[in-house]
Structure 1
Amino acid sequence: MPDSQAALSLDDVTLFGSGLVRPECLLCTSSGDIFSADWRGGVALSRTFGEQELFQAPGGVETIKPNGIALQRDGSFLIANLDDSGGVFRLDRDGKLSEVLRQVDGIDLPATNFVLIDDRSRVWVTVSTRRSPRALGYRPDVDDGFIVLIDGHGARIVADGLGYTNELAIDSQGLWLYVNETFARRLSRFRIGRRGDLTDKEVVTEFGPGTFPDGLAFDMEDHLWVTSIVSNRVIRVAPDGSQKLILEDCDPDHLAEVEKAFQDGVMDRPHLDRNSGRKLRNISSLAFGGPDLRTAYLGCLLGDQIASIRTEVMGRPPVHWHFNV
């Protein structure tokens, strides 16, 4: 459990942008571009000086519900489709949408959560739960999430039996893959084998009441920054698993209501769709950016803006940091 006193206050939070729709996942580049998944059916580009642009698939949200996004070197995006039809898609800047992966190991991909491209151009994909609707996976005893790897050998499931698989990150040496299990309330890691197989699962840390880990990002000191939906928490996790609360914005009564529903096995979409924060809007992801990589940008489920905080430590540059088109 982290310390109860947050290191930062809501006065330290800056909001910018407007008109975004469910900017759940964020990507930052060295040019200052900030990309966000957008439920208008594409990816939004925001710049801190106010300019915005939307790269939208034909048909918008009726075609695709972007959740996790990954930036490719040519400027196109990989998108994890959170619609029940699932799958991973490629979106070009001109709006062209094409399939990347719809099936794996003989099964149709259900609602697909997150996608990451590593420094070897391998693509890692998470599926939170096989249950439909997804809210049936908001249970502490459900463990049907999995991780898919797409590489030169094709696509295959490389880890299974996870408690609502969410965002993942790979350490600086490429030896360990870290993953949030949102409703198992833990951060786990796997050893990455030579051919991308995942073995030797370890639990790095477990989270207490009110914390539902979603977003995940490394800093330059090999600590992981975790965002929690519902409680609007940002927690910094040390390599030894110890936790430090950086930021929090929640209504205690609402959090207690959600916690009881979770423990009783009846947590549902309305518990996530009601915002209880004074300034934050159900934060779901974190991406380091800015000229010095000391600004942490926060994605969210319910807002139309992007929040940011300044950090004392630099974030680790992501693989796409210099993919400026």
Structure 2
Amino acid sequence: MKEYTAEEWLPSASGLGESPLYRQEDDTFFFADIKNCLVHCVPLSRGWAGRYTVHLDEPITRLEIVEGRLDILAVQTRLGFALLNSTSGAIQQIAVIRHEEDASLKDKVRMNDGGIDARGRWWAGSMALDEEAAIGRLWRLDGGNVKDMSAGNEDERAAVINGPVWSPDGKIMYTCNTPEGKIYQSKYDVENGTTNNKRLFAHLEDGGMPDGLAVDSEGHIWAAANSQGKLVRISPQGEVVATCVVPGAKMTSCPAFGGKDMKTLFITSISADGSTGNVYRARVDIPGIPRNEFKL
């Protein structure tokens, strides 16, 4: 089994470091600190000393690139989708999630992870604030309309949903039920933006909790094994074929590929249980695939 070791890179000491994002157009790295309502923007040529930080009144849980724009990012707010001016911090709301059958749920959840498919649809998972009740759902923003993709199906709900990410051809979608340590695989209809044939893809061993995911050019999934201080690389057949140890970051939260050759894994972490909350990076052999961009 191939083994890598990450190095400590940015001394961010994030309360809840999440959503690492690399933008190739200007060689810039972004990530969020959900707990402290911060978004950090780090030009790779200048490093941590050259960063600029956006301070917000509410947590941002996910960052995405906006096609053709360097002044804004697509972001997930506590209960919705928005655009963030990455200099001024101004937020323009696009849409919000609504629990039609039980409005009280809005006070019990927040948005968590998310991703954009090959046709520009924005998928996002919500999570229970107590991280125990199975009230998190998958939502899809398409053409300005938000749909609860878990409606009527209790099996599609979980306390904490992470992902989704897609295979390089866009035909398989992966999501995590983080507290249960499980990663699921579904067939994805790229044209219609729907899933079917959901099945268990991988179950992390020894209490590992799969958090953020990233995909490489061979269709392997890199998963942050939260509480274990490492990433695991999982083949399309569901077999762990490589690991990346992250010294000092027991609570690894999310990986993202970046760098000019897309062979750098950027890794966020959480300040808890002796974990630093800093950002780490590792060089790997197989490049990642660029994330799909949000189209205005």
Q: Give TM-score scaled by structure 1 length.
A: 0.75
Deviation at 1:320, TM superposition (A): 4.1
CA distance in 2, matches of 1:233, 1:113: 21
Deviation at 1:163, TM superposition (A): 5.5
In the alignment, structure 2 segments of 5+ residues that lack a partner are 151-155
Change in Cα spacing, 1:237 to 1:19, as seen in structure 2 (3 Å) is: closer
Work out whether residues 125 and 162 of structure 2, in 8 Å CA contact, stay in contact via their aligned partners in 1. Answer: yes
Aligned sequence identity (%) = 18
CA distance in 2, matches of 1:111, 1:163: 11
Deviation at 1:219, TM superposition (A): 0.5
Quote the residue 1:96 is aligned against.
Answer: 90
Quote the residue 2:124 is aligned against.
Answer: 125
1:104 partner SS: coil
1:173 partner SS: coil
1:14 aligns with 2:22: no
Deviation at 1:156, TM superposition (A): 0.6
1:203 aligns with 2:207: no
**How do 1:1-325 and structure 2 match up within 5 A?**
7-8=3-4, 12-19=5-12, 21=14, 22-30=16-24, 31-39=26-34, 40-48=36-44, 49-50=46-47, 51-56=50-55, 60=56, 63-73=57-67, 74-75=69-70, 76-82=72-78, 86-93=79-86, 94-104=88-98, 106=100, 107=103, 109=106, 110-129=109-128, 133-137=129-133, 143-152=134-143, 154-159=145-150, 160-162=156-158, 164-193=160-189, 194-248=191-245, 278-280=247-249, 282-302=251-271, 303-320=276-293
Deviation at 1:170, TM superposition (A): 1.4
Q: Deviations over 1:259-315 (max 9, x none)?
A: xxxxxxxxxxxxxxxxxxx52252100011112111111011224531001101111
Higher strand share: 2
CA distance in 2, matches of 1:192, 1:155: 18
Deviation at 1:124, TM superposition (A): 0.7
Q: Deviations over 1:235-265 (max 9, x none)?
A: 011011111341235xxxxxxxxxxxxxxxx
RMSD: 2.4
Q: Deviations over 1:4-39 (max 9, x none)?
A: xx712xxx4222233463321100122321100134
CA distance in 2, matches of 1:114, 1:54: 21
Deviation at 1:232, TM superposition (A): 1.2
1:183 partner SS: helix
